[in-house]
Amino acid sequence: MLAIKEWNWEKPSKRERKEETFRCPYCNVVVRTTADTRIVDAELGAIKYHIFKCSQCSMPVTIGQDGKIIPPSLFLPFEDIKHLPEKIEKMYVECRKSFSTECYYSVIMVARSLVMHIAVDKGAGANLSFIEYVNYLETEGYTSRHNRPWVDKIRERGNHYIHEIDEATKEDAARIIVFISQLLKNVYELPQMANEV
């Protein structure tokens, strides 16, 4: 059963106000501002949350004692990549959404599937093994010997989390998205940009 706690909303004195730098989840601007309200566990007296007013867009942003920002950002983390085929774009967005909702295992699994979908989109046959898709991308020149190590990382991390009962880490998920975004850029965005020059 959910324990119902009594929380007090307090207006701290100017000296006690918490100052914080954070990226506003509403306007995506990094702001430095002070909280004029805090929420305290009435029983324990412990501070639970600070409430800030974004100095850019004036929206209320709550930050927990653990540093968690509420609400989560309305903007997708990591960069947009242009010229992606619809299906690939959808998967890449899913990857980034999973990251912002802290579903790190999903990030890695979707990134892994993306590698296969990219290879198929570029002409690889269906039903190949994962390593065969990775090799296909290299043989066809979509990846080079230089970026093979990070494509292998996507494979290796994917395998790790499929076979080990291990919680995927935020660091692993972040690294994998950076790798996959680089791959998407090389395969789709840069060649298209070259056409536009």
**Cβ closest to Zn ion, residue 57 vs residue 162:** 57
CB of 76 to Zn ion, least distance (A): 16
**Cβ closest to Zn ion, residue 56 vs residue 147:** 56
For Zn ion, the binding residues in 77-136 under the rule CB under 5 A are none
Q: Are 76 and 96 in contact (CB under 8 A)?
A: yes
Question: What residues contact residue 96 under an 8 Å CB cut-off, 6+ apart?
Answer: 76, 77, 78, 177
Does residue number 57 form part of the binding site for Zn ion (CB under 5 A)?
Answer: yes
Does residue number 63 form part of the binding site for Zn ion (CB under 5 A)?
Answer: no
Does residue number 56 form part of the binding site for Zn ion (CB under 5 A)?
Answer: yes
Length of the chain: 197
Check residue 42 and give left, alpha or beta (phi > 0: left; psi -120 to 50: alpha).
Answer: alpha
Closest residue by Cα to residue 121 from 179, 113, 108:
113
Cβ count within 10 A of residue 187: 22
CB of 27 to Zn ion, least distance (A): 3
Could you say which of 40, 54, 93, 103 contacts Zn ion (CB under 5 A)? 54
Does residue number 69 form part of the binding site for Zn ion (CB under 5 A)?
Answer: no
What is the C-alpha separation between 167 and 147, in angstroms, rounded? 27
CB of 23 to Zn ion, least distance (A): 9
Could you say which of 12, 17, 20, 26 contacts Zn ion (CB under 5 A)? 26
Does residue number 24 form part of the binding site for Zn ion (CB under 5 A)?
Answer: yes
What is the C-alpha separation between 43 and 6, in angstroms, rounded? 7
Does residue number 74 form part of the binding site for Zn ion (CB under 5 A)?
Answer: no
What is the C-alpha separation between 166 and 172, in angstroms, rounded? 12
For Zn ion, the binding residues in 153-182 under the rule CB under 5 A are none
Phi then psi for 49, rounded to 5 degrees?
-140, 155
Amino acid 107 reads V
Contact pattern for Zn ion over residues 27 through 46, marking x by CB under 5 A: x-------------------
Does residue number 70 form part of the binding site for Zn ion (CB under 5 A)?
Answer: no
Contacts to Zn ion by CB under 5 A: 24, 26-27, 54, 56-57
